[in-house]
Amino acid sequence: MFLLLTLLISLIPSFLVMYFNDIPWYFHFLIFLGFYFGGILVFLVVVYVIGLIVANPKKEIKQPSRFLTGIVHMVCKYITFLFNMKIKAEGLEKLEGKKYLFVSNHQAMMDPITIISSMPNIDLAFLMRQNVTKVPIIGPALVSCGFFPLNRENNREGLKTIVQAVHRLENGYPVGVFPEGKRSKGPEIGRFRDGAFKIATKSQSDIAILVVDNEYKIHFNAPFRRTIVNVKLCEILKYDDIKDMNTTEIGDKVIEIMKNNLKELREKK
């Protein structure tokens, strides 16, 4: 939608310049590109300014900003376009509500962007590394949308973030987390940090298990070769089925489901 709107807005001044001026055709093309990328730049600057005004990392956001969440969805879609990605999503029809802890494997930095792009009707906020908040434009906007900067160097601050994620789920808004804690940078799933599942048990939420595959290939392919990225909602673990399990048992069950589904995805190719 954002790309189409920018395209249409760029065509109008390009057409007017062409109509009122007698200049070579290739200048019209350059003018169009200038308006197109200029419009994108203005859009990102506006997002950055709004993020600086609204964002407050020290304040608990109980309800994400719908306006900024919509912007994040558009930006994510645009990034997948820039990196020449085609997202194939399946299993999303299993979602029946919003109170889910989404857990996924973590192959690359693009994972949250891909997942958000695949679920346009869900205001999903992820736990993210605290240093992401320092990224221009994206960082302040993500904080304003309710993403959770996680301080791994300070256990007390990290616990506060976990409590905020629990409160968010209790208020009916979904939360996303990567139990591996860091990128695997390849096809294999790394070791889980089972403490992430406390968010589900404390908030009495169901767990939506996702797998993302081929994400690690993007930096080899983009932007000239298309990367087909698979996003699959494997299974939903009901709270009643996990409430008597400890976090290690939940983690073992989740990683088994992820590995089986990744195997099935790769056998389809």
- Tell me the DSSP string of 157-200: HHHHHHHHHHHHHHTT--EEE-TTSS---SSS-----GGGGHHH
* pLDDT surpasses 90 at 169: yes
pLDDT value for 47: 64
d(CA 177, CA 181): 8
β-sheet bridge partners, residue 228: 86
Both tokens assigned to 160:
């506060």
**Opening angle at CA 256, ends 117 and 100, nearest 5:** 45
99-139: per-residue pLDDT in tens?
899 999 999 989 999 999 999 888 898 998 887 777 666 67
d(CA 157, CA 233): 31
β-sheet bridge partners, residue 88: 230
Contact 193/250 with Cβ under 8 angstroms?
no
Q: Name residue, tokens 């930006």.
A: 75
Domain boundaries, the chain: 1-54, 60-267
Distance of CA 116 to the CA centre of its chain: 4
pLDDT value for 146: 79
Both tokens assigned to 227:
């990367």
pTM: 0.82
Higher pLDDT, 146 or 248: 248
User: 60-267 maps to which CATH number?
Assistant: 3.40.1130.10
d(CA 130, CA 124): 18
Cis-peptide, bond into residue 223, ω within 30° of zero = yes
d(CA 186, CA 191): 13
d(CA 159, CA 163): 6
175-225: per-residue pLDDT in tens?
999 999 889 989 999 999 888 999 999 999 999 999 999 999 998 998 889
Query: Is residue 145 helix, strand or coil?
Result: coil
Both tokens assigned to 177:
């987390």
pLDDT value for 228: 95
Distance of CA 107 to the CA centre of its chain: 13
Q: How far apart are the first and last CA of the chain?
A: 31
Contact 116/231 with Cβ under 8 angstroms?
no
pLDDT value for 179: 94
* pLDDT surpasses 80 at 90: yes
